[in-house]
Amino acid sequence: MSQKVMIIEDEEALALLLKYNLEKEGYEVFWESRGNKAVAEVEKNLPAVIILDWMLPEMSGIEIARMIRSKPDIKTIPIIMLTAKGEEEDKVKGLTAGADDYVTKPFSVPELMARVKANLRRAPELVADKEFIFEDIRMDLTEKKVYRGNNFIHLGPTEFRLLKMLIEHPGKVFSREKLLKTVWGDNIYVESRTVDVHIRRLRKSLNEFGPDYIRTVRATGYALDKEGSSEAEAE
């Protein structure tokens, strides 16, 4: 069965170009141009990955990403945000709203294809019959759920993969580069600040129900350990 990709984009020429290229790669493609219809279409078609334009009539990509992330049945679907805005601040805003990845227009079709593949590749990784526990944090990989004590923690797909990497090796300091490579995949250019944005989101979700166990190692990266957010130099 072919995997489904949903394109939410009002520029017809671009949407058709992407649709053509994705179909050539064997994907089943759905296209929606109206922002206010996008979330309903995602819920109906349940794609494996969403390509979401930032600037849309009636509802912005940012609002759509937020809505998708608030709905239990579709909130784990990876979102690749398309943006004509090159500003770093806008990218961060997009990621904060719930996008997993972003591509700045104009982009090359092969680059976008690589990102679609990378976002799809990550999904099966999560299917494993086991769980990880660190202090009061429990990660159930079968159910794809995270708990802190008895509280269910809502995490986006990127935060889930980040936590999985950290919790598999408690105390180990991971560099931003290592996290980027493992969580986002090879052959993909993502700025290292992107890691910081997702770590911030992961922290915020986890810390709602307990102390901060994510340690920032200055100029290096991150680790999961009981020292938490107190800054320390790399070993």
Question: Rule CB under 5 A: which residues touch Ca ion?
Answer: 10, 53, 55
Q: Would you state the torsion angle of the CA atoms of residues 138, 161, 176, 148, taken in this order, to the nearest 10 degrees?
A: -20
Please identify the residue of the shown chain whose CB is closest to the bound Ca ion: 55
Q: How far is the CB of 190 from Ca ion (least distance, A)?
A: 22
Our CB check for Ca ion shows the closer of 107 and 134 to be 107
d(CA 212, CA 132): 17
Our CB check for Ca ion shows the closer of 10 and 90 to be 10
Our CB check for Ca ion shows the closer of 26 and 106 to be 106
Our CB check for Ca ion shows the closer of 10 and 28 to be 10
Between the CA of residue 5 and those of 15, 21, 47, 62, 98, what are the distances in Å? Answer: 12, 12, 5, 19, 18
Q: How far is the CB of 41 from Ca ion (least distance, A)?
A: 16
Name residues whose C-beta falls within 8 Å of residue 189's C-beta, 6 or more positions apart in sequence: none
**How is residue 165 written in tokens?**
């990497």
Our CB check for Ca ion shows the closer of 55 and 120 to be 55
Q: How far is the CB of 112 from Ca ion (least distance, A)?
A: 15
Q: How far is the CB of 84 from Ca ion (least distance, A)?
A: 7
d(CA 69, CA 51): 14
What are the strands of the beta sheet with 49-53, ordered from one edge?
28-32, 4-8, 49-53, 79-83, 101-104
Q: How far is the CB of 56 from Ca ion (least distance, A)?
A: 6
